[in-house]
Structure 1
Amino acid sequence: MPDSVQPSPTGSVIEAHSIDFVPESERHGKVWHQGPFWFAGNFVLPTMVTGFIGPSLGLSVSYCILASTLGVCVGTFFMAFHANQGPRMGLPQMIQSRAQFGSRGAIVPFAATVFVYVGFLVFDVILAAQGIGLYPEATLLWYPLLIAVSIVIAVIGHDLLHVVQRWLTILLVVVFAVVTIAAVGHFGLSTPVPAEDGPMLGWNAPAFLAVFSLAAGYNISYAVYVSDYTRYLPANVSAPKLIAAVYSGAAFSAVWLMALGAVLSANIADADPIEAIRFSGNLVFPGFGTFAVLVAVLALLSIMGVNAYGAMLTGATAVDAFRGVTPTRRLRVAGLVIVGLVSLLVALLIPEHYLGSFNSFVLLMLYFLIPWTAVNLVDFYLVRRGRYAIADIVKADGIYGRWSWRGLLAYTLGFLAMIPFFSLSFYVGPVAELLDGGDLSFVVGLVVSGALYLALSRGVDVTAERRHATSAPANDPERAS
């Protein structure tokens, strides 16, 4: 059933699995589905807002596009390589971290991940309300409604999210191709001559570095999502094809929207993403801009479901490490309701001017995630080479232990090495100051954490672990002895 929701073994369309292993008999889907999933997942207004940064820092349109493209290509590389973990292990993304950090030690990246999920969900619901003209009025009515729609999508789960993203990809490509042609035709790709009191946009090395880092970090942040949506694929799918499908979808949409954001930001004073899309669309004919904004809102609702789904999986995994939970359908629904209520509360309480500091919040969360992705990828590809005792990962007291000092030490030292390179609204590290605010912390975090974990893992008895790796979770009758 490639274009519909696959019923669970009980016949329900509501997904049965959460943090548990997906048995071979329930694997389905096609590799190419990952392309549109990640295209639509990244084709959202926050991505375009990232493209606004360059012109605000004095960078010309052409250099903005170049910096964004290079940054996205680098960042997506790390994100896409997580895709291979899903079908090989049959587990959600973050529970795999138990092999590197221990079942309780993984609480550090888990906490940062939940904050990112909820933060993006809150940001998306505010933008969605703005897009349909409901902000700041009537938020008490519309915030709960918008969040409820996303929670329903997430409750039905994995397959519905894939179906929605595939159909959204078609709609987004058609509508935003028209919007992009209209915007470029009207504004061009050259940098406009500034007003008398306006800054001249051109080459600016610190700004170029800032845009590159932000674009790279933005796509690296999707690393915590990837295996959640590849774990239902058959275990023998082609790794190169799978990685390429994820990479192409996530990179293409990010480059497109960030470039469009740079064009609009350079030509529209105090650019607002919703009004900029509406203006560009109305260049085609009056009303088309409003339609384009509503399509963008649909994409936001879908990615809100994705964020809620991931927050539920990560939160349940964290709780399971301290107090065992049974991964039932009821657990999924209860977890999603909690995520929805927390997100609603934050969205209602947060001050209106918070959007101006949201980039710093997300960037700070990325600082916590970058050492995790380095440790996780090195472990999978270079240390254990994809061979894990799955039955022990899903147990809080399995062979990987509750606290794994190697992963925790590599993570901590990598994070500490990044601090001098931080560039935030409230803190600029000494190295970042020398670079006039340029932020290369993600490079430092990836290299230090990854290299240190590889060196520390020389003492891991991989051979002994592989003897355990033949054991299967109890819910996999095809592999369990």
Structure 2
Amino acid sequence: MSTPETATSREGAIEQHSIDYVPSSERHGKVWHQGPFWFTGNFVLPTMVAGFVGASMGLSVWYSVLAIVLGVGVGTFFMAFHANQGPRMGLPQMIQSRAQFGSRGSTVPFAATVFVYVGFLVFDTVLAEQGLGLIFPDGKLFWYPVLIAVSIVIAVVGHDLLHFVQRWLTYLLIVVFAVLTVVAVVHFSGNPIPAGAPAATAGWDSTAFLVQFSLAAGYNISYSVYVSDYTRYLPRNAPARKLITAVYTGAAFSAVWLMSLGAILASYLPDPDPILALREVGDLLFPGFGLIVVLASVLALISIMGVNAYGAMLTGASALDGFRKVRPTVRLRVVGLIVVGVISLVVALLIPDDYIGSFNNFVLMMLYFLVPWTAVNLVDFYFVRRGQYAIAEILKPDGMYGRWAWRGVTAYLVGFVAMIPFFSTTFYVGPVADALGGADFSFVVGLTVSGLLYLYLSRNLDRGAEAEARAASEAELEGTPR
């Protein structure tokens, strides 16, 4: 197995690890840090945009909020349970999938994951540029490269800097958006409904409720591919219950808050633009406060852009390693991040101006490709192998887990196909979704079919051979006697 260039990774230094194992001697960090990390990670403008949907379809504010609370609650459940994998395995999130899919069979979920990372990076770039455009005159051709370059620098420094920035931004965001939320609630509840605002005709709509519920759930399920990247440096004995709770609380609280704020803005402002809506409502407190809100949002966007670039690099390197062994060096990370940055810049420049419609389809596509993966991955970790893996074999493209693990690949593909009748996008509506008025419950089908099928196919898995490999793996990775 290749080793990193140096033996340590310390706060403030450039991270040395990438897709390799983090040994026990280098584990650090605190479980509670996961709370603010995922609060800020989810407290970004795309999250608020996800809350626009219910109101735009005629759902009242409170029904929209209810759909958001329920959807986020369900989606974050699956996302948070990935947190326990990081300290137990010491690996980034997606390379763990080799145990279920094989080093090459994992290419499909890897490709879908890179699509998620780059997609979010693009939407974050677009929104951040619009925010800065309220102050500075330069447009896309200047700010897109600058914003992406800053996010790449953050990602090059790596794990500890990302945690540090996310943690301290939490305090700023809570203060600024607490004031903004109070202003919005007081103003819109105490004044006549503006002409043309959706709230004037909103009420109960079952289809809109189900769409908002599914979108909220799918949005947080999409974060499943991130989680272990930021828990893998924690000590191996990090308490699972506290860790899962910290991740769940941070990710769910921020999503519910910001999506609900989005529902309020979309109900009382005709055709709201996320940047302009924040400035308009913020300036109700005093002229200029809206700009403060926007700038705080831009800082959060730049931070999560670093998170997305970092994850895309890790996943891309994992995919490449399945076909050609790579050395997990700093150079690999830098080159990978530059490639991610260039791709994101090109896509951002090509994306249509009506990005909100594109964003909703993007979230749904994430849901379709990632739900079967998260079902297989969680079932394997908690019910099949119960967290016991030969880590060194996972890191070998031709190790004992194989290049193509038929159980995981089969469960993934069958689950994906089972979801198709439930798809509901602007370009395709499945027959079941059409019968439900456009509501999309595909994630329920995907989770159930892929998870149960993988559990069934794994009933005769040879765990005895794997036990011996685990002992050898521990000696190889940690230098302990067998």
Q: Do these two structures clear the TM 0.5 threshold for a shared fold by scoring above it?
A: yes
CA distance in 2 between counterparts of 1:254 and 1:370 reads 19
**Match status 1:97 vs 2:102:** no
For the Cα contact (< 8 Å) 1:191–1:266, is it kept in 2? no
1:436-455 paired onto structure 2 within 5 Å: 436-455=437-456
- Aligned CA distance change for structure 1 residues 92 and 191 (closer, same or farther; 3 Å): farther
For the Cα contact (< 8 Å) 1:19–1:92, is it kept in 2? yes
**Match status 1:32 vs 2:39:** no
For the Cα contact (< 8 Å) 2:49–2:356, is it kept in 1? no
Q: 2:259 is aligned with what amino acid?
A: M
- Aligned CA distance change for structure 1 residues 191 and 41 (closer, same or farther; 3 Å): farther
How far apart are residue 284 of structure 1 and its match?
Answer: 1.3
CA distance in 1 between counterparts of 2:331 and 2:273 reads 41
Q: Deviations for 1:395-432, whole angstroms, at most 9, x for unmatched residues?
A: 00111000011001100000000000000000000000
| 4+ long deviations beyond 3 Å | 134-137, 189-199, 473-481
3-state SS, counterpart of residue 404 of structure 2: coil
Number of the residue aligned with 2:316: 315
Larger mean CA deviation between 183-192 and 354-363 belongs to 183-192
Number of the residue aligned with 1:54: 54
Q: 1:110 is aligned with what amino acid?
A: F
Number of the residue aligned with 1:84: 84
Q: Which runs of 5+ in 1 are unaligned?
A: 1-6
Q: 1:15 is aligned with what amino acid?
A: E
Number of the residue aligned with 2:15: 15
1:329-348 paired onto structure 2 within 5 Å: 329-348=330-349
CA distance in 2 between counterparts of 1:189 and 1:440 reads 37
Number of the residue aligned with 2:370: 369
Number of the residue aligned with 1:183: 184
CA distance in 1 between counterparts of 2:198 and 2:254 reads 34
**Match status 1:425 vs 2:426:** yes
- Aligned CA distance change for structure 1 residues 191 and 158 (closer, same or farther; 3 Å): farther
> What TM-score, normalized by structure 2, do the two folds share?
0.95
How far apart are residue 283 of structure 1 and its match?
Answer: 1.3
CA distance in 2 between counterparts of 1:241 and 1:477 reads 26
- Aligned CA distance change for structure 1 residues 162 and 213 (closer, same or farther; 3 Å): same
CA distance in 2 between counterparts of 1:145 and 1:455 reads 50
For the Cα contact (< 8 Å) 1:61–1:191, is it kept in 2? no
Larger mean CA deviation between 344-353 and 304-313 belongs to 344-353
1:256-335 paired onto structure 2 within 5 Å: 256-335=257-336
For the Cα contact (< 8 Å) 2:199–2:268, is it kept in 1? no
How far apart are residue 354 of structure 1 and its match?
Answer: 4.1
Number of the residue aligned with 1:476: 477
For the Cα contact (< 8 Å) 1:418–1:444, is it kept in 2? yes
Number of the residue aligned with 1:462: 463
3-state SS, counterpart of residue 395 of structure 1: coil
How far apart are residue 279 of structure 1 and its match?
Answer: 1.3
Q: Which runs of 5+ in 2 are unaligned?
A: 1-5
CA distance in 2 between counterparts of 1:126 and 1:8 reads 38
How far apart are residue 358 of structure 1 and its match?
Answer: 2.4
Q: Deviations for 1:83-119, whole angstroms, at most 9, x for unmatched residues?
A: 0000000000000000000000000000000011001
Q: 2:425 is aligned with what amino acid?
A: L
Q: 1:132 is aligned with what amino acid?
A: L
> What TM-score, normalized by structure 1, do the two folds share?
0.95
Q: Sequence identity, in percent?
A: 69
- Aligned CA distance change for structure 1 residues 227 and 189 (closer, same or farther; 3 Å): farther
Q: Deviations for 1:178-237, whole angstroms, at most 9, x for unmatched residues?
A: 000100010129995875999721111111111111000000000000000000000001
CA distance in 1 between counterparts of 2:18 and 2:474 reads 14
Q: 2:420 is aligned with what amino acid?
A: I
For the Cα contact (< 8 Å) 2:71–2:215, is it kept in 1? yes
How far apart are residue 478 of structure 1 and its match?
Answer: 4.0
For the Cα contact (< 8 Å) 1:277–1:293, is it kept in 2? yes
CA distance in 1 between counterparts of 2:352 and 2:481 reads 52
How far apart are residue 273 of structure 1 and its match?
Answer: 0.8
For the Cα contact (< 8 Å) 1:60–1:191, is it kept in 2? no
How far apart are residue 8 of structure 1 and its match?
Answer: 6.5
Q: Deviations for 1:125-172, whole angstroms, at most 9, x for unmatched residues?
A: 010000111799531111111000000000000000000001000000
For the Cα contact (< 8 Å) 1:60–1:201, is it kept in 2? yes
How far apart are residue 472 of structure 1 and its match?
Answer: 2.9
How far apart are residue 464 of structure 1 and its match?
Answer: 2.1
3-state SS, counterpart of residue 331 of structure 1: helix
Number of the residue aligned with 1:411: 412
3-state SS, counterpart of residue 470 of structure 1: helix
CA distance in 2 between counterparts of 1:138 and 1:193 reads 32
Q: Deviations for 1:4-31, whole angstroms, at most 9, x for unmatched residues?
A: xxx9727780000000000000000000
Larger mean CA deviation between 285-294 and 193-202 belongs to 193-202
For the Cα contact (< 8 Å) 1:23–1:478, is it kept in 2? no
1:374-413 paired onto structure 2 within 5 Å: 374-413=375-414
CA distance in 2 between counterparts of 1:401 and 1:132 reads 48
CA distance in 2 between counterparts of 1:196 and 1:142 reads 33
How far apart are residue 473 of structure 1 and its match?
Answer: 6.7
For the Cα contact (< 8 Å) 2:198–2:267, is it kept in 1? no
CA distance in 2 between counterparts of 1:69 and 1:197 reads 21
CA distance in 2 between counterparts of 1:330 and 1:205 reads 52
- Aligned CA distance change for structure 1 residues 474 and 123 (closer, same or farther; 3 Å): farther
For the Cα contact (< 8 Å) 1:471–1:480, is it kept in 2? no
For the Cα contact (< 8 Å) 1:102–1:401, is it kept in 2? yes
Larger mean CA deviation between 341-350 and 238-247 belongs to 341-350
CA distance in 1 between counterparts of 2:190 and 2:151 reads 36
- Aligned CA distance change for structure 1 residues 304 and 193 (closer, same or farther; 3 Å): closer
How far apart are residue 361 of structure 1 and its match?
Answer: 2.4
Number of the residue aligned with 1:434: 435
For the Cα contact (< 8 Å) 2:58–2:198, is it kept in 1? no
3-state SS, counterpart of residue 469 of structure 1: helix
- Aligned CA distance change for structure 1 residues 10 and 455 (closer, same or farther; 3 Å): closer
